[in-house]
Amino acid sequence: MNSSFPDIRFEVGKVVSDFVDWIDTTFEPLFDFIFQIASSTILGIEDGLLFLPWWVFLAIVFLLGWRFKSISSGIMYAAFMFLVGTFGLWAVLMTTIAIVLTSVVISLLLGIPLGVLMAFSKGFSVVMKPILDAMQTMPSFVYLIPAIFFFGLGNVSAVFATLIYSLPPVIRLTELAIRNVDSEVIESAESFGSSRWQMLKKVQLPQALPTIMAGVNQTTMMALAMVVIASMVGAKGLGEQVLIAINRIDIGLGFEAGISIVFLAILIDRITGGIASRFQRQKEAK
């Protein structure tokens, strides 16, 4: 008995490849413009961070930790960043922060409006949800292929791949936050004759802010999770050091770069989480 599959071939890969070729040819000026903007943004943030004296950066980290967590947390986060400097990884740390910040800012600029649109339009939400599911379940390595194709090797490709991976959480949580605003609050605003824009600006977004901030936290952490993977398309920073350590089988460098990423992840997670918690407490106090 022959159990082999019939000789039927649906070359979906060729269809996708032809479609991507068409996009690249048709929108080449747009991709060049995006490349210039993203590259300039990354370099600007990186230069700004490197311009700061190291002790000023540590002071900022301490103040953020103190403001949104506690004084002991601020000291611990500053100590973490100081340790990264003692590893000789200060410059690449700044590069990593620049890539992550650029990715997160673009994710928020795209994700929050899309989440609001999904909350207001059930049809748009139905269309977007399968796309977001695909973005979250597709292996992150796959994002590197179109990134290289459109932008070549380097930090811009890393931002593009990171953007696809980190965008869904902020979109989903923004939609959830807007939909879950108390109906009594909305009815009260409507009774005062508020327009849809006024209601969104003055009622729904302020009420939804704690949940949206949780989305910002998740998006930031997912962007940071792409640091090592993005190094495979030529991204600089701590991820590149991990990749170099793997190629050289250098356990010491691998540990230093790896623990530096852990320190940065703890810093970002605790501070963004602290901001979200503060908004939540302010909401509950009203």
Distance between CA atoms of residues 177 and 146, nearest Å: 32
Residue 127 belongs to some domain of the structure: yes
Q: Do 258 and 242 contact (CB within 8 A), yes or no?
A: yes
In-domain check, residue 5: no
Burial level of 258, CB count in 10 A (0-12/13-18/19+)?
middle
Whole domain around residue 190: which residue ranges? 12-51+87-285
In a domain, 32, yes or no: yes
Q: Kindly give the confidence (pLDDT) of every residue in the chain, 286 residues in length, as a single tens digit, with 9 standing for 90 and above.
A: 566 777 777 777 777 778 878 887 888 888 888 888 888 888 898 899 889 899 999 999 999 999 888 899 899 999 999 999 999 999 999 999 998 888 888 888 999 999 989 988 888 889 999 988 888 888 877 777 878 878 888 888 888 888 888 888 899 998 888 888 777 777 776 676 767 777 777 777 778 888 888 888 888 888 888 877 888 877 888 888 988 898 888 899 899 999 999 999 889 888 888 877 776 676 666 6
Helices marked H in 138-250: 144-151, 155-179, 183-191, 196-199, 205-225, 227-230, 238-248
Which of 65, 223, 75 shows the shortest CA–CA distance to 158? 223
Q: Are 272 and 213 in contact (CB under 8 A)?
A: yes
CATH number for the domain that contains residue 214: 1.10.3720.10
Q: In this structure, is residue 149 part of a structural domain?
A: yes
Counting the structural domains of the chain, the total is: 1
Instruction: Give me the pLDDT at residue 91, please.
Output: 92
pLDDT of residue 283: 63
- Would 24 be classed as within a structural domain? yes
**pLDDT, averaged across the chain:** 84
Tell whether 37 is covered by a domain.
yes
pTM summary value: 0.84
- Look at residue 79 in the predicted model and tell me its pLDDT: 94
What is the C-alpha R_g of the chain?
A: 22
**Which pLDDT tens digit goes with each residue over 82-141?**
999 999 999 999 999 998 888 888 888 999 999 989 988 888 889 999 988 888 888 877
